[in-house]
Amino acid sequence: MLKLPIYMDCHASTPVDPRVLEAMLPYFTERFGNAASRTHRFGWEAEEAAEGARKKVASLLGASSREIVFTSGATESDNLAIKGIAEAYRDRGRHIITVCTEHAAVLDPCRRLEAQGWRVTFLSVHPDGLVDLDRLRSAMGHDTVLVSVMAANNEVGVLQPLAQIGTITRERGALFHTDAAQAIGRIPFDVNALNIDLASLSAHKLYGPKGVGALYVRRKNPKVSLAAIIDGGGHERGLRSGTPNVPGIVGLGCAAEICGAEMADESRRLQALRDRLLHGLTRNLAGIDVNGSMTDRLPNNLNVSFAGVEGESLLMGIGDVALSSGSACASATAKPSHVLKAIGREDDLAHASIRFGLGRFNTEEEVDYVVEKVTAVVRRLRDMSPV
């Protein structure tokens, strides 16, 4: 039986998998110790649990456990990567390259460094959302210390060519950071195959809890130096002080383990649901444009512009379906999406865009309901429009 409301906003957040919650619960109650307490059993149990989770996260990334630093989420990880590299390598160069379609968690730290005297290059993208590799090569100089390009865009789901970018940065002697919050757990991701030096992730994007994430920091070939941005106790090998969030860390580890085991089948199922959604909408409605590449794209993402319809009005009309008109971090602003503007969408189409983020618990029945509901609301709004 169909249960309302329906959730299809999994790029904003995902529900905690019941298996993840079950793994976390003991660490709120009987195993509540501080993982930094090394003198009694409660601390030892907590530390053992955290280290076990660290191995599971590392395994999902093709990394070693000593390369995983636990944080409060991908935003903190991005800040630690960008600001930490800037401070550690400022004597080598003061140039950073990123992309104009990045999440604010990358763009804002870069702008802060720019205000502090760093030179930051914001690369444009092609109409399909992919970065221009020739422009990347041209932008790199002897003083470029970091290139930060997200793995998968949080709005249009476009997958950037990480392997090629990693080859370019390695050849030029720059470090390569990727905000991989939307990609890890949804597509295969190997830091060594991709020549990635730093990678950010967040548990709540892969069916884990909010408030916990991690940063991968390469330890060899090359060994990455990083300055801490939070001081106060030297936790996480001095890179991130603060009492470890053991229940959250356990949840992240469990979520990572599940993704590693089930990702291939889940991705195929979600892509089939995504295609069913797209085919249903295009069968019922004219004036639909898909934003971003359909070839290089997350399997669960669909971002669509409905000509002649204002996105916020559409969202209000389909109140029993949770969707988004863009990044959850910018949903309170009336400005058109900077991502859609970057790929060439005019303001009217940018404002007419809806992001569908399918997830682990969505069904064909839900997809069919959403197709019919969106179709009905779009038709009604178009009939009401004076245009």
In whole angstroms, give the CA distance from residue 174 to residue 197.
10
Q: Nearest Cα to 257, choosing from 21, 69, 56?
A: 56
Alpha helices, H only, 116-161:
133-139
Instruction: Classify 70 as helix, strand or coil.
Output: strand
Q: Is residue 132 within 8 Å of residue 162, measured between CB atoms? A: no
Q: Look at the chain and count its residues.
A: 387
| Active-site choice (10, 110, 259, 329) | 329
The DSSP symbol for 262 reads H
Task: Please say if 100 is a catalytic residue.
Answer: no
Q: How far apart are CA 38 and CA 43, in angstroms?
A: 6
10: left (phi over 0), alpha (psi -120 to 50) or beta: alpha
d(CA 98, CA 145) in angstroms, rounded, equals 11
Whole-angstrom CA distances from 211 to 28, 80, 281, 351 are: 15, 16, 35, 30
Half-sphere exposure of 137 (CA within 13 A, CB side): 7
Instruction: Cite the DSSP H helix spans in 319-363.
Output: 338-342, 347-351
328 token code pair: 């959850």
Compute CA 367 distance to the chain's CA centroid, rounded to the nearest angstrom: 23
3-state helix/strand/coil string of 269-328: HHHHHHHHHHHHHHHHCCCEEECCCCCCECCCEEEEEECCCCHHHHHHHCCCEECECCCH
**Residues noted as catalytic:** 329
